[in-house]
Every structure is written in structure tokens, then in C-alpha cells.
Amino acid sequence: MAITASMVKELREMSGAGMMDCKKALTETNGDMDAAMEFLRKNGQAKAEKKASRIAAEGVCRIAIDGNKAAVVEVNSETDFVAKNEKFTTFVEAVAKQALASSAADVEALLAEPYIEDASKTVNDVLVEKIATIGEKLSVRRFEKVEADVVVGYLHGGGRIGVIVAADSDVKNEAVEEALKNIAMQVAALNPKYVSEEEVSEEYIAHEKEILMAQIMNDPKESQKPEKVIAGMVQGRIKKELKEVCLLDQVYVKAEDGKQTVGQYVAQVAKETGANLKVSKFVRFETGEGMEKKNEDFAAEVAAQMNA
């Protein structure tokens, strides 16, 4: 039976598997869609091993929340196409629930646990199955759990960025949760490193001062200024930088006057709700951050594979 491009496209949309994998599966099963799906699943382990060296820097984040506990996970794929595949995103959602219920301290331990939706398999078993049907290297990269009086989650860009914000509060209502959601959006947009200056280590300050001093000394004009002036310049630039990297010191993105800081916004919400409210922690995951990404001409790849 002749395998057409439309058949390959249909199987790829059903399975999320790679173009050539779908073509081979249909060829081996004489165009039987159900049998081709089964073929893809049965070849899972071999595919997982072959794909182990590939770069998986796309993917999505998902968040699971239960009461005062939350977990965020990042699961990677090789392409943005797969990151939008429903089979993939459903799996990532299950991994988030797994992480929330788990006592695992790292990804390796999480993968070894019985899968939350089918205890006869481990999380890793299911991951291998997904690699078989989707046809790309997939990896559970990281997860983090948070527990506090109030926790909220926010996904940006379809899950490209996942944020959890936690707060100590003696009041938990819609107004408090909405405020924390706004702050989570702030974290997603401006990517702070710390909640407040209290968290900034002396080592970080010393390192930044060293960099700033080197910049000044490498500037012919600024390096000629008196030592006291240079010290003041360094201190001023450090203060400016801390306002950018510390969440509570950042200008609140929704501030009507363009001046209100996040810390002032929290104080305002506390006053309005009667809550003793304090942002205690945030977690921000961005898919693929710090990872090398490969550049591909997807259209050219599809054309080449279909002509193979």
C-alpha cells in the first residue's frame, strides 16, 4: 500500500511522533493506523536510547496546587511542535501532580516512583513510552515544591514560564490570592533573583562591586576621579542593581503612577484586606534556560524526510 503524506501527517497528529518514525510505522503495518500506533509504542526503549544524546531544550512548565502546597515542573522536548502536543502536555501535568504528592528529593528519585496514574509503571516507564509515541528525546529536567500559608501559580506563554509565589498570611481570600497572582506575573515578566535585599549574600555584593570597579577602572575618564567619588559611584550602582534584582524593590508593573514598588503594593493589599501579609518565596522556571538550543529549518527537514 502506498503511504501518502496525508497519512503520515494524520499519524503524526495522533501520536506526536517524528515524521520518519510515522512513515516507517505505516510502511511496516501496511497503512493500518491502529497497528502503526502500536508499532510506535513497542519501539519505545530503542528510540529512547537513540535519542539520549540529542538536545531537548524546548518543552513546557506545569504547576500543581493542593491547598497550601504547590509544585512546578519543567519537562523538555526537542521541538516547539511537540511542546504544544496534547499528549505531551497532559503527561507534564501528571508529572506536576506526581511532584506535588512525592517526597522525592531529586528528579532521579521522582522517575523511580510508581506513576501517579498507573502504579504498575514507574514515571520513567511512562516517559519512555512517550518518547516512543512522540518520537523525540524528552526529559524531566527539574521540579520544586513550595509550602506556605498561601500559594499561587502562574503560567506564561502557554507554559514557557512557570511561576509559584508563596506568602505568609493570616488571611486567605480572593483579594490576597489575586494580589499574589499579580506578583507572579511580575516575576514572570521581570525575572528577579531575590524576594528582598535581606536574601542577598555578602558574596554577591562583593562580586558585583568587583565587576563595577573593573568597569570604572577600564574607563579612561571615570578612572581618573577621586577614590571617594569612585566608591560612591560603585555604591550607587549597586543600589540601582538591587532594585532590579529584588522583587519587593522593583517598580510594580501595574502601578498607576509608575512609581509604586512591589513592596508598597503588598503593604497596600495588606491594609485593604486586614492581612498580615508577607511574600516569603517565589520559584520561576523558564523552559530551556541555560541550555543550548539547536537551530533547525523545520520546513526543510519535513521536505527532506518526505522525499527520503
For the chain, what are the domain ranges? 5-53+295-306, 58-163
From CA 211, how far away is CA 201, in angstroms rounded? Answer: 16
Are 247 and 192 in contact by the 8 Å Cβ rule? The answer is yes
Backbone angles phi, psi at 282, to 5 degrees: -140, 155
CATH of 5-53+295-306, one of 2.40.110.10, 1.20.1250.20, 3.40.50.300, 1.10.8.10: 1.10.8.10
pLDDT level of residue 54 (50, 70, 90 thresholds): low
pLDDT at 46 (0 to 100): 44
Degrees to nearest 5, angle at CA 73 with 93 and 91: 30
Each residue's pLDDT tens digit, 66-123: 999 999 999 999 888 888 889 899 999 999 999 999 999 999 999 999 999 999 999 9
pLDDT at 134 (0 to 100): 83
Each residue's pLDDT tens digit, 180-202: 999 999 999 999 999 999 999 88
Q: What integer best gives the mean pLDDT of the chain?
A: 88
Return all residues near 19 (Cβ < 8 A) that are at least 6 apart: 8, 12, 301, 302, 305, 306
The interaxial angle of helices 262-273 and 174-190, nearest 10 deg, is 170
Confidence check: pLDDT of 142 > 70? yes
pLDDT level of residue 261 (50, 70, 90 thresholds): very high
- Lowest-confidence range among 38-42, 135-139, 263-267, 282-286? 38-42
Confidence check: pLDDT of 47 > 60? no
pLDDT at 85 (0 to 100): 87
Nearest to 296 by CA among 52, 78, 26: 78
Confidence check: pLDDT of 274 > 60? yes
Please give the CATH architecture assigned to the domain spanning 58-163: 2-Layer Sandwich (3.30)
**Percent of the chain scoring above 70 in pLDDT:** 88
pLDDT at 53 (0 to 100): 53
Other beta carbons less than 10 A from residue 221's beta carbon: 7
- For the entire predicted model, the pTM comes to 0.76
pLDDT at 296 (0 to 100): 47
For range 52-73, the mean pLDDT: 87
Are 279 and 44 in contact by the 8 Å Cβ rule? The answer is no
pLDDT at 294 (0 to 100): 54
